[in-house]
Chains A and B, each alone.
Chain A
């Protein structure tokens, strides 16, 4: 009866697929989110950096935060529960199986070799949505300054991303507010 509405089951299934292939931290989820959700027209390209920024600003597991945010945008509270359960179910089952039956898993040479190949691929995959976002959003000199400063502060000076986001939010808020006051 609700043809246009995305079903909760669909949300669960797509996020289970995303969760099953998120290897490493939350950032590894971004390329798969982009390909799975944009392809279906569930979120726009513009929304992706917003989802990342706001999920990074909240406490907890970033991948869970991203699921809650994206799920909510699709179907409200129910959507966010479906998305979160979806993205944690594959991990849950795999880890349980390992904990119960295959604790020797990490010493398996085949697994070890497969992961030697997966890790560099994941790094490359993180870079692709970054390039797309830069092309879309970095039109001014100051946007490149912000990108470069965030990169250097986090990667080389060990500053936590949350502080950077808070400072940028406060600064951008003040600048926009002052601009809005002018006639």
Chain B
């Protein structure tokens, strides 16, 4: 009993720290989760963690949350053999990884609400908005191309998980046209993408 409680506390502390120290979204988070969960605590094996990441990428929902939920379940149910404690473990990990966001974002959004009409703040945001355009473009590019550097020379390769062949480009183009020009709802387009995937491959 005390062992289970200690494990839960340790899980909560670990995921709180992960939530506090990762900037830049889910993918940046994965390596920290791996270091903590596999290397530092030895809660999961390397291959179990790799499977969890693969499933987290394949299921709806933010990847950081998916991974936390899955790891929390596996760690607790693995240690105790109980589904119920597994569920408690996943809730603990998920809430713990989100808690630092609350502390920081509430400060930020209060500041935003108060100063959004301030000239100085507006000046800062005028610089930030075009930067965000570039960041979003980069997020999309990174899903298509990966860059690796050897001796200062870049080499580019297509990200195989996302772009398998010409059919992927066809879906990409069609989805862009559908969203941009026909203004089709993005949720509908994701469902159509799934159907196209089943039909085309």
**A residues touching B (Cβ–Cβ < 8 Å)?**
17, 19-27, 29-32, 35, 49-50, 52-65, 68-69, 72-73, 77, 80, 84, 87-88, 90-92, 94-96, 98-100, 103, 105-106, 110-111, 113-131, 133-134, 137-138, 142-144, 146-151, 153-156, 158, 160-162, 164-165, 168-169, 171-173, 175-177, 179-180
Contact = CB atoms under 8 A, between A and B. Distances in A.
A27 B197 contact: no
A63 B67 CA distance: 14
B40 interface: no
B98 A146 contact: no
B79 interface: no
A114 B131 contact: no
**Best-buried of B58, B64, B97 by chain A (most CB within 10 Å):** B58
A42 B63 CA distance: 26
A110 B198 contact: yes
B24 A56 contact: yes
9 contacts: A24-B26, A53-B128, A62-B25, A98-B55, A98-B70, A99-B86, A114-B194, A155-B145, A176-B126
Interface of B: 19-29, 51, 54-66, 69-70, 73-74, 77, 83, 86-87, 90-91, 94, 97-98, 100-102, 104-106, 108-110, 112-113, 116, 119-120, 122-145, 147, 149, 154, 161-164, 167-169, 171-176, 179-180, 185-187, 189-190, 192-198, 200-201
Given A106-B58, A146-B131, 13 more contacts: A25-B62, A26-B62, A30-B136, A31-B179, A35-B187, A57-B108, A69-B109, A80-B102, A87-B62, A99-B73, A121-B192, A146-B130, A180-B123
Contacts of B127: 146, 168-169, 171-172, 175
A156 B147 CA distance: 6
A150 B138 contact: yes
